[in-house]
Structure formats: C-alpha cells, structure tokens
Amino acid sequence: MEMSPARSTPLASTLVRKVFAVYFALAFGMTLLQLALTYQNTAHQVIEEMDSTAKAFEPGISLAVWNYQEDLVKSVMSGMLEGAIIVATEVKDSSAKLDVKLNKKAVDHIDDSMRRTYDLYYSPVPGKKEIIGTMTLYSSHNIVIERVKYNLFLIILMATIKTLGLWLIIMFFAKKLLAGPLQRFTDQIGKLNLSMPSPLEPGAVRSKEFIYLYNAFNAMIKEIFEKNQKLTDLAAHLEQRVAERTAELHDKNQVLKEEIHERQKAEAALQKAQADLVSAARRAGMAEIATNVLHNVGNVLNSVNVSTDVISRRVHSLKISEIIPAIDLLEKNKDNLIDFVTHDKKGAMLPLYLRKLAGMLTNEQQAIIDELRQLIYCIEHLKYIVAAQQEHTGKSSITEEVHIHGLIEDALRINSEALERHRVRVVRDYEQVPVLPLDKNRILQILVNLISNAIHAMDGKPVDNRQLTVRVNILHGNLCVAVQDQGEGISSENLTRIFAHGFTTRKGGHGFGLHSSINAAREMGGSLVGRSDGPGLGATFVLEIPVLESLETA
C-alpha cells in the first residue's frame, strides 16, 4: 500500500507569503511616516524662511507705515514678493488708514494655512517702542511640495527596491533550504509501501534537522511494521493523543513568538528614538542652543543606557532554553506518558520543575517591564529636550500640576547609575510642599544637571565623605530646591563665572550644563545661584521659582 499525501499549499510558499505580507505592511507604514516627516520638516523650513524675510524687511515697512508712505510700502512689499517662498503680502496700520495687499500675478488663490502675521514696531522716542500695525506674509503648500517631490520619489523608489530585494532573497533561501528537501521527503513518503517498507534516504540533504527527521521517520516505519497488529487496535487513541500534544505545543510556541515580537518592537522603538536624537543633535551644529541640548540629552542618555543594558542582560539571561530537557523527557516517554509522570522519579518532579521555571520567567518579565517604564520616562524627557530645540526660541513654557518631591526623585533616578558607580550617599531634607503648577521639564532638566555636577565634584573625595543633600522648602513665596555636595568646592572669583557658556573647572567638562540651567530658571521667572566657602569645602546650588500666586490660590 502506498501513501498519498493530500494536496495543499506548500509550506515554504505559505511562509514566504506571510513573511512578505508582514514586511510589506511595515515597510509601507514606515514609508508613509518618512514621507510625512519629510513634508513636515520642509514646511517648517519654509516658515523659518518667512520669519527671516519678515525680520529683514520689518524696519523699512515700519518706517514707511509711520510716515504713511503708501508707495514706499508697496515698493518694499514688492521686494519681498521677489523671494521664492512669498506669494502675497499685506500691511495694515493700527488706525486702519493704511491697508495694502499685494500678491504675485501667477497666484490665483492664497492659502491661509501658510500665513504668518508680525507686529510692526516704531520708536518715536528713543527707548520706547510702539506697535503701529501688522504685516502678514503668505506662502503656499505648492512651494513645499515642489521642494520635497524629488526626495519623495527617492523614498518611494528605495522602499520598492528593498521590498523586491527581500522578496527575491526569501524566495531563494526558502526554495533551497526548505521547499526542496520537504518536496523530496514528501515524494518518498508518497511512494512508501507499508506492507514492505524500505528506509528513506536523505540523499544530498545535509541539514541536521532533516537527517534527524529521516532517521526518526525510518525508526517509526520499522516500529509500525513490527507492531502493525497492536497499532490497529490503538490507532484511534494514539491519533487523539498526538493531536492534543501538537495543539499544546503550537499554543506554547505561539505565545513565545508573540513575546519575542513585542520585545523586538520595543528594541526597534528604542533604536529609532536614539537615532532621532543623534540626527537632531547633528542638525543643531555648533550653536549655543545645540550644545546645551546635547549636554542635557547626554545626562538623560546615561539613564537610558543603564536601562537598556539591564534589559539586554535580563533578556539574554532568560532561562527559556531550560524547557528543552523537559520536552525531551516528554518526547522520550510519549508512549507511556501517564506511567512516566506517575511512577518515574524524574517524571514526578517534572510539573514542579515547570512551575518553578514559569515563576522565574514571570519574575524576569516583571523586572524587564519595570526597566521599560523607566526607559519610557527618560525617552519622554528626551522628547521634551528635542522639542524645545526645534522651537528654536526657547521661550515657550508649559506648566502642569507637579509634586516637587516626585520630580526630584525622577532626577535622582535618571542619575542613579552615576550615584551608584561613584558610591554617593543621598540625604533628603524635604519640607511639606503642596502640588504646584510648574514647568516640569525645565525644572527636571535643571535638577539633572545639578545632581550630575555634584556627583562629579566629589570624585576626588574619600568614599565615606561622598554625601549629596537635597533640600526643599517654601521661602518668601518662592519654591526653593537646594543641591549640596561635599566636593572640591568653588573659589569666590568663579562663583559667577561658572554660569558663563563654555566655562568649566572640571577636567573633561564643556561648560554647557550650568549655563543652560540658569537660562531655563530665568525663563521661568526664577533664579539659580551657587554658594561655596572655598576650594575643598563643597558647594550648594539653590533654584528658586516664584509660586506666591499659586499658594494664595490654593
């Protein structure tokens, strides 16, 4: 009797189609995202050019509006229209006596979504500025599209090439490593005569898995031939057991695949976030804003690196491979599984072993989840730092209800690796402070810098003297946060110079942290001061933020 396998879709073809479908969906989504980001960045560049044009022509327009020289106003407006990005301009004075609007002849419709309005100032008396009118500049989305269409074409072309290349590679290896050996194995099974079975030959196949499959199959055919009569009576029962076992293994395998996929997604998201931060830092150049941003990003990345290292080590230490011996025992005793689990010493210990292994894997999973939460928090702070750089002016302020104690703990957590590595003891002296509306991200940026500086200041001190004290209180309507160290101290002539951009007394320092911190404090209407009794006597930095109105409201 020959065996005739049922006709079905080849496994290799099904695998290739599914892998390609998933990759195509991901590639399509990433391409759309890249197109959207390219368009957004170009539109932002056009708006920045509009701001530069307005800044350049504003003095001439203001003078003409003040003197009611409409011809001069039109002349200056015509000069602005000669630029590539300006399609229309409009100037109005405060008294509504002057209202001039010009646009390029080739423009039939003006898009209000690409409009920017600027106040016009004039100083009739030195030292006093007055708003005498407004100037509105219009651009067009067609200009943005014209600038990015070549990049859009390249992005789509590269995505298409990568997709086709992956398809060809998968097809080649699937046919060579999977489809061919499987087809040969299937053909031999189809020609097998169970009444007089002969061993199947693997031929040119060198894969250990396929050789193992051939050997196992030959052994099974031999056993079937020898015990054909007994197998006839037990066939139905054995078929049911095999089906149940296959379904169980399939379910477990599916769960493991889903967990691995989720971890890969988290790693990909982290890699993308790190790549975006590096790209943003490079675009910022050597300007003061960029150096400050890089300094603040570096402080947070220390915590990010620690979290990613912990996650990596925990993932690599997962004891998933320890389930293989248990599976081998079950496979070895599949014909007498009940007797093995009931009477055999190893079989009786197997459920307890699997339960302990599951508990260990669950604990490792929870530890990884906790590290991911810390990692997500650091990435959110990195997003704020990058967003502040992209705003370029650095004057925007977003306040939210914040408990200052929790914010300090976040800053200590970001510096936790450095605190542990330098063996610094932290002392907390917190007074009761209510929840206050604060600029959370700016204050966190300042605290991270101050704590990092304090840690490095104590490098040369004995381990027993490395103490960092953080104090919080309300004084004269101001929220006061003091960071005190027992480090190298600061000389009196440097107490003000340390806030200058590029000035540093630490070897390997850049002089960006305190400069950006005092700027952030001033933008919130507060102050940052340093105090020290001299070299070798430690230092204290005090951040003060006015909160009197919030306290009275509360």
**pLDDT, tens digit, for every residue of 142-160?**
888 877 777 777 777 887 8
**What is residue 430's predicted lDDT score, i.e. its pLDDT?**
94
**What is residue 475's predicted lDDT score, i.e. its pLDDT?**
92
Q: Compare 138 and 320 and report the one with higher pLDDT.
A: 138
**What is residue 4's predicted lDDT score, i.e. its pLDDT?**
47
Q: Compare 190 and 55 and report the one with higher pLDDT.
A: 55
Tell me which residue has tokens 């009931």. 342
Tell me which residue has tokens 């490792």. 364
* DSSP helix/strand/coil, 470: strand
Give 450's pLDDT tier (boundaries 50, 70, 90): very high
**What is residue 445's predicted lDDT score, i.e. its pLDDT?**
86
Give 351's pLDDT tier (boundaries 50, 70, 90): confident
For residues 19 and 167, the answer to whether their CB atoms sit within 8 Å is no
Most distant CA pair in the chain: distance in Å? 115
Work out the average pLDDT over 2-26.
63
Work out the average pLDDT over 344-360.
75
**What is residue 261's predicted lDDT score, i.e. its pLDDT?**
86
Give the DSSP letter string of 127-189.
TEEEEEEEEEEE--HHHHHHHHHHHHHHHHHHHHHHHHHHHHHHHHHHIIIIIHHHHHHHHHH
For residues 523 and 397, the answer to whether their CB atoms sit within 8 Å is yes
pLDDT of 311-348, one tens digit each?
Answer: 667 666 666 666 777 777 778 877 887 777 777 777 77
If you average pLDDT over every residue of the chain, what do you get?
Answer: 77
Give 391's pLDDT tier (boundaries 50, 70, 90): very low
Bridge partner list, 401: 437
User: For domain 400-553, is the CATH number 3.30.565.10?
Assistant: yes
Question: Does 11 have pLDDT greater than 50?
Answer: yes
Q: Compare 288 and 65 and report the one with higher pLDDT.
A: 65
Question: Does 394 have pLDDT greater than 50?
Answer: no
Residues 6+ apart with CB under 8 A from 218: 199, 200
Q: Please provide the distance, in angstroms rounded to a whole number, between the alpha carbons at the two ends of the chain.
A: 90
Q: In whole angstroms, give the CA distance from residue 266 to residue 263.
A: 5
Question: Does 522 have pLDDT greater than 70?
Answer: yes
**What is residue 479's predicted lDDT score, i.e. its pLDDT?**
94
**What is residue 525's predicted lDDT score, i.e. its pLDDT?**
92
Tell me which residue has tokens 């229309």. 88
Percent of the chain with pLDDT over 90: 13
- Supply angle C-alpha 268, 309, 365, rounded to 5: 75
pLDDT of 452-502, one tens digit each?
Answer: 899 989 988 898 889 999 999 999 999 999 999 999 999 988 888 888 877
**What is residue 207's predicted lDDT score, i.e. its pLDDT?**
67
**Which of 16-20, 61-65, 444-448 is the least confident region?**
16-20
Q: Compare 7 and 313 and report the one with higher pLDDT.
A: 313
Q: Compare 136 and 207 and report the one with higher pLDDT.
A: 136
pLDDT of 53-86, one tens digit each?
Answer: 888 888 888 888 888 888 888 888 888 888 788 8
pLDDT of 35-52, one tens digit each?
Answer: 888 888 888 888 888 888
Q: In whole angstroms, give the CA distance from residue 291 to residue 515.
A: 10
Percent of the chain with pLDDT over 70: 72
Question: Does 547 have pLDDT greater than 50?
Answer: yes
* Residue 457, CB-side half-sphere exposure with 13 Å CA sphere: 26
User: CA of 294: how far to CAs of 132, 285, 386, 420, in Å?
Assistant: 40, 10, 9, 23
Task: Select the highest-mean-pLDDT range: 224-233, 269-278, 313-322.
Answer: 269-278
Q: In whole angstroms, give the CA distance from residue 550 to residue 90.
A: 42
**What is residue 285's predicted lDDT score, i.e. its pLDDT?**
39
**What is residue 5's predicted lDDT score, i.e. its pLDDT?**
47
Pairing of strands 436-438, 467-475: unpaired
Question: Does 407 have pLDDT greater than 80?
Answer: yes
Q: In whole angstroms, give the CA distance from residue 400 to residue 391.
A: 19
**What is residue 6's predicted lDDT score, i.e. its pLDDT?**
45
Task: Give the number of residues written for the chain.
Answer: 554
**Which of 198-207, 246-255, 285-294, 383-392 is the least confident region?**
285-294
